[in-house]
Copies of this chain bind each other. A is one copy, B any other.
């Protein structure tokens, strides 16, 4: 086990963050105000430049400040209601347990798959934002040009063309990988399943974020694994210092983590935290599955680095998919499993044998064409705007005391409702009004977050969205408490 660093040293930059946040909260610093330069603050406070930089990056991740090129950092306009600490509900370490919320999660997942409901509870983007036409043409082209291969070929790791493109993008996130390291999967669900299966035996304990993506909790349940919930900061992600305590206790077989654009929190873990996390994994020999599904949907100025980018020990398996950025219907994802590749191929061969070829060929063509980066740039812009808009509209309608996450990417909002609100009850009543709702307890193995819900902001503002929010607001007023 590694030695825990003294708390002062570990969180020096966090005290700076607290002080600057207080200046913004109190109104001393206002939207548009320039904040002191890194050098100046370093001199003023007698702390190192890296410490100040770390603090500014965290404030940027939390969208309290924003950078303007060659001009420094400015205070951003405030959303009325801010989520600071969903950790209010889980602030310390409990005991590992089975997934007590399996039935609820199942109901949520089935609801997500029901196309008749308004998808306010799903995590699927508006199909209008996806390059449907181009992908359709590429599917047709692949069917024409590579007919025999599309029909007959079977390779468990995926087509070389697509593995190459995935490796290129993983390298852009900082990981030194090649096409041979990539295993193409039937969506990210299979990537997570294979990765966790490769690291665990039934009955093992996996440390998970709290809140966590319910699909990952569902994978744990299917594999017969226990979950140990680790408090997760809405600005910086998994609390590495609490995880360190958990690993020191022993009995944790693997860690499941979403460093980049967390679902549902929307936060990006600062690089410094990623370094700490990877050091902790190396010191304890515990592997981690990284869910990087939303990693390319960052709102910041650059692609956040993957956790795998910092991993020298081959302990991080990095998973992703094209379901959020290109084509949910293709069911194509991947895992980059490092030293666990052979085991992954083993389980893949036994459980699905291979991934359908034709969608792989169309995706590889699309990625190789160079249009993907332009598409992603547009998509990030779009989601930034739809999440801002939806956040405003929620603020206008939801009860006093509602707080909303400020995502650093993606298109999901995590909404805290007044104490006593029962979002599972809300879900039941919302379904009758034609809405899918993702209630907070589905994001916790032990059913925490009963007054939270996740809201899909991946659609344009429309009459349908307005109707959905109005219905939710009505139900909340009627007393879904």
Decide yes or no whether A89 CB sits under 8 A from chain B.
no
The one of B106, B151, B350 in contact with A109, judged by C-beta atoms closer than 8 angstroms, is: B350
Q: Name the residue among A151, A326, A354 with the largest chain B CB count within 10 angstroms.
A: A151
Given the interface pairs A330-B356, A349-B109, A353-B187, the reply to whether A147 lies near B127 with Cβ below 8 Å is no
Stretch in contact with the other chain, from A12-20, A30-38, A130-138, A388-396: A130-138
Stretch in contact with the other chain, from A73-81, A153-161, A303-311, A444-452: A153-161
Min C-beta distance of A349 to chain B, whole Å: 5
- Chain B contacts of A358 at CB under 8 A? 139, 329-330, 356, 358-359
Stretch in contact with the other chain, from A46-54, A215-223, A255-263, A278-286: A215-223
| Tally of contact residues, A, Cβ under 8 A | 65
- Chain B contacts of A288 at CB under 8 A? none
The one of B135, B151, B219 in contact with A151, judged by C-beta atoms closer than 8 angstroms, is: B135
Decide yes or no whether A230 CB sits under 8 A from chain B.
no
The one of B130, B222, B346 in contact with A350, judged by C-beta atoms closer than 8 angstroms, is: B222
Chain B residue with the shortest CB-CB distance to A142: B139
Which residues on A are within 8 Å of B, measured CB to CB?
A: 106, 109-110, 113, 115, 124, 127, 130, 132-133, 135-137, 139-140, 142-144, 147-156, 186-187, 189-190, 193, 197, 201-203, 215, 218-219, 221-222, 224, 326-332, 345-347, 349-359, 362
Q: List 22 A-B contacts (CB under 8 A).
A: A109-B350, A127-B152, A135-B147, A136-B147, A136-B148, A139-B143, A139-B150, A140-B140, A151-B326, A152-B329, A153-B329, A186-B355, A186-B356, A193-B352, A197-B222, A202-B203, A215-B353, A222-B350, A330-B358, A331-B355, A331-B356, A352-B352
